[in-house]
């Protein structure tokens, strides 16, 4: 995936000491890493990361503070340099859960705050979920290359338009209303999911998750994603995620 560099969010990687019981060489390497200068990786707000959910997120079982993890399924690359390798872990937590007064709608607020590389280095991150689909979701496009060719040619993506769910964007301080109504403005599914389970970078919304709405703001200082459903919100292990880097606070 090519990353469009606009402005930037700097992911500051702290080189954590390598702990090793009885391993002097590893201990020395850890001390050297601690003393080295921080490494920075520029990821622009709006950078999309394909990932797969590890474990589950459930509005009836998850509690504030519960860890949420996803594994990067495709390296983020810029000018042939790998910024975020495949296999890295994106980690965050459940901020809060809730229901409306009638018990007819549920919500989960999730945010991602760090990336953990294969070597154990951690990078600060501010990100939310831009699109999602069940692990066994049906592809909506044959390939991302063909999708991009059609998009550049100004053709509509008929295959993704036929998906009947919708997505929404609201501020990150969104709270579940006293009662859910049907007149809330909705955003159609955008983008597509290919045969490899990868989203196009412009994908938005909940694919094949009827009634689930994805609220992911991109305003300054925004954090995370609110997922709202008329039924319980449930994301299974292996759920396809498109995680988007949000603007850092104060930028």
pLDDT in tens, 19-56: 333 433 444 444 434 433 334 667 889 999 999 999 99
pLDDT in tens, 101-157: 566 689 999 999 999 888 888 888 999 999 999 999 999 999 999 998 888 887 544
What pLDDT was estimated at residue 155? Answer: 58
Is 70 exceeded by the pLDDT of residue 5? no
| Tokens describing residue 162 | 């036929």
Q: What is the DSSP letter of 50?
A: E
Averaged over 184-210, what is the pLDDT? 87
Host H or E run for residue 95: strand 89-99
Residue 144, phi then psi, degrees to nearest 5: -70, -30
CB count within 10 Å of CB 95 equals 18
Under the banding of pLDDT at 50, 70 and 90, the label for residue 197 is very high
Specify the range with the lowest mean pLDDT, choosing from 51-55, 73-77, 167-171, 235-239. 167-171
Is 80 exceeded by the pLDDT of residue 96? yes
pLDDT in tens, 151-182: 888 754 444 433 333 333 444 444 544 444 44
| Tokens describing residue 103 | 């018990």
Give me the residue label for tokens 């692990």: 135
What pLDDT was estimated at residue 117? Answer: 87
Question: Which burial class, exposed, middle or buried, applies to 69 when counting CB atoms under 10 A from its CB (0-12, 13-18, 19+)?
Answer: middle
Q: Are 1 and 45 in contact (CB under 8 A)?
A: no
Which among 199, 175, 171, 202 has a CA at the least distance from the CA of 188?
Answer: 202
| Tokens describing residue 64 | 């504030």
Handedness of CA 217, 218, 220, 221 (dihedral sign): positive
Please give the Cα distance from 117 to 125 (Å, whole number): 12
Which among 203, 184, 212 has a CA at the least distance from the CA of 241?
Answer: 203
Which is more confident, 1 or 79? 79
Under the banding of pLDDT at 50, 70 and 90, the label for residue 59 is very high
pTM, whole model, 2 decimals? 0.75
Under the banding of pLDDT at 50, 70 and 90, the label for residue 72 is very high
Q: Are 209 and 95 in contact (CB under 8 A)?
A: no
Please give the Cα distance from 26 to 24 (Å, whole number): 5
Is 90 exceeded by the pLDDT of residue 7? no
What pLDDT was estimated at residue 111? Answer: 96
């Amino acid at each position: 995936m090519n990353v469009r560099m606009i402005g930037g969010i700097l992911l500051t990687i702290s080189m954590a000491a390598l702990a090793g019981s009885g391993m002097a060489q590893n201990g020395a390497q850890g001390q050297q890493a601690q003393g080295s200068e921080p490494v920075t990786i520029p990821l622009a707000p709006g950078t999309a990361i394909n990932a797969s959910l590890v474990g589950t997120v459930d509005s009836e079982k998850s509690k504030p503070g519960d860890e949420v993890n996803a594994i990067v399924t495709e390296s983020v690359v810029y000018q042939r340099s790998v910024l975020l390798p495949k296999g890295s872990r994106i980690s965050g937590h459940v901020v809060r859960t809730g229901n409306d007064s009638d018990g007819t709608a549920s919500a989960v607020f999730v945010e991602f705050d760090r990336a953990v590389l294969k070597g154990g280095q951690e990078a600060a991150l501010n990100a939310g979920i831009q699109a999602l689909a069940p692990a066994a979701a049906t592809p909506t496009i044959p390939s991302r290359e063909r999708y991009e060719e059609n998009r550049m040619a100004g053709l509509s993506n008929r295959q993704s338009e036929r998906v009947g769910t919708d997505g929404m964007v609201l501020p990150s301080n969104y709270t579940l209303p006293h009662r859910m109504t049907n007149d809330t403005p909705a955003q159609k599914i955008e983008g597509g999911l290919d045969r490899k389970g990868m989203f196009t970078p412009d994908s938005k919304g909940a694919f094949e998750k009827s009634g689930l709405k994805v609220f992911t703001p991109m305003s300054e200082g925004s954090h995370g994603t609110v997922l709202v459903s008329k039924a319980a919100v449930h994301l299974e292990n292996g759920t396809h995620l498109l995680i988007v880097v949000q603007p850092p606070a104060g930028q």
